[in-house]
Structure 1
Amino acid sequence: MAQTIYTAFQQSAQQWPDHDFMLVLPETADAYDIPAGAISYAQAQQEIDRLAALYSAAGYGHGHRVGMLLENRPAFFLHWVALNKLGASIVPINPDLRAAELEYLIGHSEMILAVATPNRHTDLGEAALKAGQTMGLITPDQTPPPAPQKAPRLDQAITIESECALMYTSGTTGRPKGCMLPNQYFHDAGDWYAQVGGLATLHKGRERMLTPLPLFHMNALAFSAMAMVKTGGCLIVLDRFHPRTWWESVRKSEATVIHYLGVMPAILMKLELTESDKNHYVRFGFGAGVDGSLHQPFEQRFGFPLLEAWAMTETGSGACIIANEEPRYIGTNCFGKESADMEVLLIDDEGNPAATGTNGELLVRHAGPNPRRGFFAGYWKDQPATDEAWADGWFHTGDIVKRDEHGYLHFIDRKRNVIRRSGENIAAVEVENVMQQCPAVRSIAVAAVPDAIRGDEVMALIVPHKPLSNLEAKQQLATEIVQWGLSQLAYFKVPGYIAFVDQLPLTSTNKIQRGELKTLALELLNHPDCVDTNHLKKRQEI
């Protein structure tokens, strides 16, 4: 049995040495300034072993953590597996993160090295200095410097329980939580996908899976990448989702499976109808969040099913649900029903089981003697949060779900105070904590407002230091605040709307009244004085 991701890849490279493992399309090659073309399993194995030898010679090993800021370059995967061979863990870094976020991530994770594109070395170096963390910096083509410290678990065997990645996800506390993901997590994710069957059946040695989703998220790294490793398929990673060239990429790559976020079908449906809409090899799409009104029209137009699924970074495949069998109840936000390998409980606000047809919080666990199998190992440096998430032996997801009379599950909403924008989880408290430091802000509260394309958009209610006399002054100050925010936060977290108010809705203990805030944000959204700053929220060149 394979104990590590490295051994799993090694087995596939032995079985399918000449098969394509990764494909870099010309448009992605141009974006990254890297060679286009396919990388075979044998070629990847050779490069992984070369990199592992370099890391080993430099003293990296079991228990070390290495940051990865490489976007969707093949080097991300190759360095990950090389480090995994030695028992080192990676910390995937979202390239959209900026000063305050990087400082926290580097200090909290205690990474001792970061592998990053050259243009981000200054940012990372400054953040490490502020965090007080000794950290080396290399490009993916450079030889790693000597490790600053001995590997903490050098004398311990590398096992399936060894940490493989520390992946950060937004929570309700305002700071991202570091999910410790063991080798088992990635093995189980790949095996789950390889064996789930139905409309999501993967054929060994034949699949070509295209994803625009980032490798620093669990969907692409745990499910897409590991599914291809386990089945000898080809992973096609785009630098990002490009609507106008999407179908050209699908056709050129001969993709048989695509991964999507709910925003993608909405955008693709706005493209002009063409005779080649069904001219592709795609058998199914795997994703979540498609607009119910677009679900069936999309499938009819493009000729393949969008299989809605549910999972979290914390749950991995230990509790993953997918609508891969008929009936799928298209257009009802149905994501199927649980398999025999997992258990589901819906509870009401009092903690009692929710009746059929009524909303309840989704609680999940793996079936059998180990209810946490396939899940994260816990939150790094936050055992209380881990214990709270696993209260009463169930993982509390914070998602509100309804079970219909046929036993199928339908997604309703999120209980947690998390803004869901284009597939990104944004903690309102984190945005507030950072934006509060802007010199122009006296106090701030952030809430989600609906967006037809992105699901949610970030809206900020801000109390300025002095009253603003007219709309022009409000627009000018809002622009200044957002531009400041863009230097500190990923662009998607920065407010897309700003309303200046005299005071925030607070409790007697000066805590934000979230319910009242949400109501007020919706009221102010359409007010003439509400400033739309969405045009400033552009992905920065990196």
Structure 2
Amino acid sequence: MGEGLPPSVYAAFKRTAEAHPQNSFLCVPSRPDRAYAPDGLELSYGAVALIVDDLVTRYRSAGYGLGHRVGLLLEMRPEFLFHYLALNALGCGIVPINPDYRHDEMLYQMQHSEADLVVGVPHRVDDLNAMARDRSEKPLPVFDCTALPEVFPAPQIRAASGSIGHDTECTLLYTSGTTGRPKGCILTNFYALTAGACYRDLGGLLTVRPGEDRFYNPLPLFHMNHAMVTASCAMLTANCLILTERFSPTRWWQEVAQTRATIIHYLGIVPPLLLNQPVTTDEKQHRVRFGLGAGVEPQLHKTFEDRFGFPLVEVWGMTETGRIFSDCHEPREIDTRAFGRPQPGFEAMVAGADGKELPRGQEGELLVRHSAADPRRGFFSGYLKNDKATAEAWAGGWFHTGDVVRQSDSGMLYFVDRMKNIIRRSGENIAAAEIEACLQAHDAVAQVAVLAAPDELREEEVMACIVLMDGHAATADLADQLFAWCFDRLAYFKAPGWLLFVDSLPTTGTQKVQKTQIFKAGEDPRQRPGIYDFRARKKR
């Protein structure tokens, strides 16, 4: 993995464009209510190469090059790839901006990254200009991606000298931390290319066919899964990227069938919502060979595969790692949370609080590295302007993921939970994910988030926040049924002591629930009107 890779992402794209100019590179499904390409769009590698090279000329003539960064608020539009590749050709880093960001979030990101210019979608240009006016250290030109100037303004600082290669910064991706400001992960060309090569080479059920596959990935382009892993893999294999807006269960099968997708990507929220949709002809007319993702509930895994006719392959990865583990070889363990085994070039260890390896079968933190000789090879280069956090993450020569896992005697790794999602109740460590999986399997539950509520006697108590499926009313009787559902299936202490019905749960752009935003800072969740208290029923 990583051997024989071209020097940059642009070089990989250009090599494919020259060898396979007629192959489809970008596809946008039709959608009449969309502001751009309402009838859909399909662009070949050759056609995109002409657009990209025109942008290269324009950026180069303005003086952009090594050391510069450009913010991109381009949602899921093809323009994101146009500017990404053009800037990469010159050695510039891109700073993808979450389109859901508000003023202060964008301001922090553009200040921290010291971006030299921003390109955005038309309906956010005013917001970007307002943000740019508040950035005090230097001017920040903002441009509408549909109305670019003939000549870009020159950056204030000249480009650095040197050649573009594997170590050149490619992307600065900001993680959505649960405390403090997001950290900027510096990702190089080698990181991006290695991520794509890892996907390309997984094999088994995840065998990618050069020039034949079409990736339908609803995850945003400011996420490593799409921009780094999937896009790089597509370019390395002369395959097509399908660009759709964020996941929609009602549009999913129509778009998958229309775009002739052969590979889909998913998050845990996708399978239950698709299973809850009525049967349609589109769901039977797809060409999908496999789905790649993380977080499918074990209780739903086989049900999904039986209904829709293709395997969902669980993987694990992080922005910092680039590479992914995968449970892609039969026999898979779909009734568990298995996500793969360590491999050469992506080693793993399950460690205790002291950083030492635990015996097989015990739960501990997942630590990963490339190898003992070169632990950080292909990983992120560090957190921008935060050497302390980088050093802490790499304590002991392993990257500390913050995920609790266990490993079997066969080497298989099983996800347990994020360390911060462990509830400490009367000395018992309870994984929120286990309770969420149990509740998610109930027909009345559309979404669920389990978190720790304060408890004066037990330290913490289990609290479940539940969004109901349409047609189900938030009644005391249903709350009682859901408590009994968990109590009958889990150890008594894992059942929710508190249960609250909510209209919705806050999510990130990648549809991950933001548990820290369910309640306001300082709010006691136990005081919410309508909450149900089942603590007295939690007995052996």
TM-score of the alignment, normalized to the shorter chain, above 0.5: yes
- Which residue type is aligned with residue 141 of structure 2? G
Which whole-Å CA distance do the structure 1 matches of 2:363 and 2:309 have between them? Answer: 33
- Which residue type is aligned with residue 456 of structure 1? A
**Structure 1: gaps spanning 5 or more residues:** 420-449, 462-481, 505-519, 531-542
**1:374 partner SS:** coil
Q: TM-score if structure 1 supplies the norm length?
A: 0.78
Q: Aligned residue for 1:136?
A: 141
Query: Is the 1:499–1:524 contact (alpha carbons within 8 Å) kept by the matching residues of 2?
Result: no
1:285 aligns with 2:285: no
- Which residue type is aligned with residue 135 of structure 1? L
**Structure 2: gaps spanning 5 or more residues:** 424-438, 455-502, 534-540
Query: Is the 1:460–1:497 contact (alpha carbons within 8 Å) kept by the matching residues of 2?
Result: no
Deviations along 1:248-270, whole A, 9 cap, x unmatched? 11111111100111101110010
**Correspondence 1:373-384 to 2 at 5 A:** 373-384=377-388
Query: Is the 1:499–1:529 contact (alpha carbons within 8 Å) kept by the matching residues of 2?
Result: no
**1:286 partner SS:** strand
- Which residue type is aligned with residue 27 of structure 2? L
Which whole-Å CA distance do the structure 1 matches of 2:107 and 2:19 have between them? Answer: 43
**1:187 partner SS:** helix
**Correspondence 1:63-462 to 2 at 5 A:** 63-132=67-136, 133-141=138-146, 142-143=148-149, 145-153=152-160, 155-171=161-177, 173-274=179-280, 277-317=283-323, 320-367=324-371, 369-416=373-420, 453-454=446-447, 456=449
* Root-mean-square deviation over aligned CA pairs: 2.9
**1:316 partner SS:** coil
1:15 aligns with 2:19: yes
Which whole-Å CA distance do the structure 2 matches of 1:266 and 1:30 have between them? Answer: 27
- Which residue type is aligned with residue 22 of structure 1? L
How far apart are 1:459 and its partner, in Å? 10
**Correspondence 1:474-513 to 2 at 5 A:** 497-498=518-519
Deviations along 1:520-540, whole A, 9 cap, x unmatched? 64x55685499xxxxxxxxxx
How far apart are 1:404 and its partner, in Å? 2.1
**1:412 partner SS:** strand
**2:34 partner SS:** helix
Query: Is the 1:285–1:304 contact (alpha carbons within 8 Å) kept by the matching residues of 2?
Result: yes
Query: Is the 1:107–1:128 contact (alpha carbons within 8 Å) kept by the matching residues of 2?
Result: no
**2:369 partner SS:** strand
* Larger mean Cα displacement after TM superposition, 269-278 or 245-254: 269-278
Q: Aligned residue for 1:435?
A: none
Query: Is the 1:263–1:455 contact (alpha carbons within 8 Å) kept by the matching residues of 2?
Result: no
How far apart are 1:226 and its partner, in Å? 1.0
How far apart are 1:344 and its partner, in Å? 0.8
How far apart are 1:328 and its partner, in Å? 1.7
Deviations along 1:117-155, whole A, 9 cap, x unmatched? 1221222222233231421111223035312313341x1
How far apart are 1:457 and its partner, in Å? 7.6
- Which residue type is aligned with residue 227 of structure 1? C
Query: Is the 1:459–1:495 contact (alpha carbons within 8 Å) kept by the matching residues of 2?
Result: no
Query: Is the 1:457–1:496 contact (alpha carbons within 8 Å) kept by the matching residues of 2?
Result: no
Which whole-Å CA distance do the structure 1 matches of 2:227 and 2:308 have between them? Answer: 26
Structure 2 CA distance for partners of 1:348 and 1:453, relative to 1, 3 Å = farther
Moved over 3 A (4+): 31-35, 274-278, 416-419, 450-461, 490-500, 523-530
Which whole-Å CA distance do the structure 2 matches of 1:330 and 1:524 have between them? Answer: 39
Identity of aligned residues (%): 42
How far apart are 1:240 and its partner, in Å? 1.7
Q: TM-score if structure 2 supplies the norm length?
A: 0.78
Structure 2 CA distance for partners of 1:354 and 1:199, relative to 1, 3 Å = same
Q: Aligned residue for 2:6?
A: 2
Q: Aligned residue for 1:464?
A: none
How far apart are 1:50 and its partner, in Å? 0.2
Structure 2 CA distance for partners of 1:337 and 1:221, relative to 1, 3 Å = same
Which whole-Å CA distance do the structure 2 matches of 1:363 and 1:491 have between them? Answer: 22
Structure 2 CA distance for partners of 1:62 and 1:225, relative to 1, 3 Å = same
Deviations along 1:152-194, whole A, 9 cap, x unmatched? 41x1111110000100002354110000000001111111111
Q: Aligned residue for 1:509?
A: none
Bigger RCO of structures 1 and 2 (CA < 8 A, at least 6 apart): 1
Which whole-Å CA distance do the structure 2 matches of 1:109 and 1:454 have between them? Answer: 35
Q: Aligned residue for 2:44?
A: 40
Which whole-Å CA distance do the structure 2 matches of 1:499 and 1:118 have between them? Answer: 33
How far apart are 1:456 and its partner, in Å? 3.2
Which whole-Å CA distance do the structure 2 matches of 1:128 and 1:73 have between them? Answer: 22
Which whole-Å CA distance do the structure 1 matches of 2:514 and 2:36 have between them? Answer: 24
Which whole-Å CA distance do the structure 2 matches of 1:312 and 1:226 have between them? Answer: 16
**2:339 partner SS:** coil
Which whole-Å CA distance do the structure 2 matches of 1:498 and 1:278 have between them? Answer: 41
How far apart are 1:353 and its partner, in Å? 1.8
Which whole-Å CA distance do the structure 2 matches of 1:321 and 1:492 have between them? Answer: 23
Query: Is the 1:20–1:40 contact (alpha carbons within 8 Å) kept by the matching residues of 2?
Result: yes
- Which residue type is aligned with residue 296 of structure 1? K
Query: Is the 1:365–1:372 contact (alpha carbons within 8 Å) kept by the matching residues of 2?
Result: yes
- Which residue type is aligned with residue 214 of structure 1? P
- Which residue type is aligned with residue 120 of structure 2? A
Q: Aligned residue for 1:540?
A: none
- Which residue type is aligned with residue 180 of structure 1? I
Q: Aligned residue for 1:431?
A: none
How far apart are 1:234 and its partner, in Å? 0.8
Deviations along 1:50-75, whole A, 9 cap, x unmatched? 00101111111111000000000000
- Which residue type is aligned with residue 149 of structure 1? Q
How far apart are 1:35 and its partner, in Å? 6.0
Structure 2 CA distance for partners of 1:287 and 1:122, relative to 1, 3 Å = same
Which whole-Å CA distance do the structure 2 matches of 1:294 and 1:50 have between them? Answer: 48
Deviations along 1:82-103, whole A, 9 cap, x unmatched? 0011111100000000022111
How far apart are 1:396 and its partner, in Å? 0.4
Structure 2 CA distance for partners of 1:460 and 1:86, relative to 1, 3 Å = farther
Which whole-Å CA distance do the structure 1 matches of 2:414 and 2:398 have between them? Answer: 20
